[in-house]
Amino acid sequence: MKMTLLRIINPLLLLLLLFQFVSALFRTDYYQFFSRWHPIGGYALVALGLLHLVLNWKWINAAYRKR
């Protein structure tokens, strides 16, 4: 179940990150579209990022305990 969720979340994180980057670059050209969707994409990016951390917490914890 966890791996299935990560296989869905990881590509979505990449797409949201790219969308945020593009929407920040072209905000003046397509102001109405990006001014509406940029904050929503940011909130979704943070939420999925936190979910990604929660799902990978065992791996993160194990990787830093070895140091």
CA distance 6 to 3: 5
> What does pTM read for this prediction?
0.80
Q: Is residue 67 part of a domain?
A: no
Q: Is residue 40 part of a domain?
A: yes
| Structural domain total, the chain | 1
User: What is the pLDDT at residue 50?
Assistant: 97
Q: Is residue 6 part of a domain?
A: yes
Structure tokens of 27? 């905000």
User: What is the pLDDT at residue 67?
Assistant: 66
Q: How many CA atoms within 13 Å lie on the side-chain side of 64?
A: 5
- Can you state the angle between helices 31-55 and 57-65, rounded to 10 degrees? 60
Parent domain of 25:
2-61
pLDDT tens for residues 4-63? 999 999 999 999 999 999 888 876 667 787 788 889 999 999 999 999 999 999 999 998
2, 56 contact by CB (below 8 A): no
